[in-house]
Amino acid sequence: MAEPTQPVIAIRTGGSEDSVRPGRFAPYRAVLASRARAQRSYRASFRLDLVSSALVAVVELAEVLVLYRSVSALGGLSLAQVLLVFGLADVGFSLASLGFGHVDDLPEHLRRGTIDVFYLRPQPVLAQLVTSDINLRRLARAAVGLAALVVGLIVAGVPATWRSAALVLLAVVCGTTISSALYVAAGGLQFLVIDGAEMTNSFVYGGRYAATQPATVWVAPVRAIFGYLVPVTFCGYLPVLAMLRLPAPGWLPAWLAWCAPLAAVWAWGLALACWRWGSRRYQGAGG
């Protein structure tokens, strides 16, 4: 072989105890930290991503503002109230897409065969896929959502009580959980319909869109789907109804807002079932 080279290696080491085996979460931490560093290191590209992500959120907010222009209320909510719904739902969804958005890349992994690489590593495939990236740019989107939420909290006359605080917290935490579940469920189904990603996306992004709307305007089947099956009303609409003690539409009483954790568990059960179904089909193990 050729002349020996002097390898220059820059390898990070994890502390002083050199021979200790790293912990269970070290694999995930290593990938995520490196992804975050990589994204920030492409400054121009990252700035563009941040700006475009914020722009998307602004345009979505503009849609709501245009709709509520020159009407006092729509679907039982005023502009201030719907801002609150939008803010809660969007903060939850943005946080979910920050951590889970790249599950959307699954069809690309499937087409290029790179998904197989995940099967060769000693961690669960879903956990690896989720921690394979982090979309820092979605922070810009979360910021727009947060702004809408803060303005909504101020102008909608939310009572400054512990009850309101609890509902906001519940909505954001469960909203993030439910939205994450949507990404995972869509990912699982993408194993089955690689080229039909738009189909699975329709309930992820359709779900996001629905989460920002007052459920009163929906026809019954839509209410059943986005109220219970894909329970996005728990992300914003129901908590706002409960917070402001507004009249609720049929089949969706306001007290349901307190059951958001149940909705989150249901969404994740569905998501994991979809994932299991899809990945087992991919491995040829049948549905």
Partner 1 sequence: MRARARVWWRLVVAGMRESATYRLAMLGGLVANLTFGFLKYGILTARVHAGGAPVVGYSVAVMSAYVWLSQGMLGSINLFGRTALAQRISSGDVAVDFLRPLSVQTSACLREIGRGLLALAPRGLPSVAIGAGLVGMALPYGVAGYLLGALSLLLAIAVSATTVYLVGVSGFWLVETRGVQVFYMVVSGFLAGLFVPIALMPAWLQVTAYATPFPAMLMMPVDVVSGRVGGLAALGLVMAQVGWLLLTAALGSRLTAAGRRRLEVQGG
Partner 2 sequence: MSTGSTVGDAVIRTEGLTRQFTRREGLRKVRLSAVDGLTVTVGPGEAVGYIGANGAGKSTTIKMLVGILLPTSGQVRTCGLEPMAERVRLSRQVGVVFGQRSQLWWDLPVAESFSILGAVHRLSPHDERARTVELVEQLEMGPFLSTPVRQLSLGQRMRAEVAAALLHRPRLVILDEPTIGLDVVSKQRLREFLRAERTQHGTTLLLTTHDMGDVARLCPRVLVIDRGRLAYDGALDGLSRVVGARRVLVVDLDEPVEDLTGIAHTEHLASEAGGLRQRIAVDSEATTVPEVLAAVSARVGVRDLAVEEPDIEDVVRRVYLAQAGEGQRSVGPAPGGASGGASGASGGARGGASGGPRGTAGPASGTLGS
* Distance in angstroms (rounded) separating the CA atoms of residues 60 and 255: 28
Rule CB under 8 A: say whether 47 interacts with partner 2: no
Please answer whether residues 138 and 101 qualify as being in contact, where contact means their C-beta atoms are separated by less than 8 angstroms: yes
The pattern of x and - marking residues 60 through 99 that bind partner 1 according to CB under 8 A reads x-xx--xx-xxxxxxx------------------------
Q: Helices marked H in 120-161 — which ranges? A: 125-130, 138-155
Map tokens 């007052």 to a residue. 214
Report, in Å, the least distance between residue 125 CB and partner 1.
23
Q: Does 283 bind partner 2 (CB under 8 A)?
A: yes
For partner 2, the binding residues in 8-37 under the rule CB under 8 A are: 8-15, 18-22, 26-27, 29-31, 34
d(CA 274, CA 247): 35
Q: Is 34 in the site for partner 1 (CB under 8 A)?
A: no
Q: Per CB under 8 A, does 219 bind partner 1?
A: yes
The minimum distance between CB 90 and partner 1, in angstroms, equals 15
Q: How many residues appear in the chain?
A: 287
Q: Which residues pair with 77 in a beta bridge?
A: 74
Q: What is the DSSP letter of 16?
A: S
Tell me how far CA of residue 191 lies from CA of 26, 184, 247, in angstroms.
28, 11, 42
CB closer to partner 1 out of 31 and 194: 194
Contact present, 41 and 139 (Cβ < 8 Å): no
Nearer to partner 1, 131 or 233 (CB): 233
For residue 140, give the nearest of 58, 215, 247 by alpha carbon: 58
Tokens in use for 129? 């896929």
Q: Check: CB of residue 235 under 8 Å from CB of residue 178.
A: yes
Q: Which does 36 bind (CB under 5 to 8 A by kind): partner 1, partner 2, none?
A: none
Out of 97, 176, 200, 279, the only residue in the binding site for partner 1 (CB under 8 A) is 200
User: What tokens does 233 get?
Assistant: 């009303």
**Residue range at the interface with partner 2 (CB under 8 A); choices 4-12, 70-78, 91-99, 100-108:** 4-12
Tell me if 198 contacts partner 2 by CB under 8 A: no
Contact segment (CB under 8 A) with partner 1 among 11-19, 164-172, 200-208, 267-275 equals 200-208
Q: Which of 150, 154, 169, 199 binds partner 1 (CB under 8 A)?
A: 199
| Bridge partners, 74 (sequence order) | 77
Q: How far apart are CA 41 and CA 34, in angstroms?
A: 10
| Residues of this chain that bind partner 1 (CB under 8 A) | 44-45, 48, 52, 55-56, 59-60, 62-63, 66-67, 69-75, 193-203, 205-206, 209-210, 213-214, 216-219, 221-222, 226
Q: Which residues bind partner 2 (CB under 8 A)?
A: 1-2, 4-15, 18-22, 26-27, 29-31, 34, 38, 42, 112-114, 116-117, 119-124, 283-285
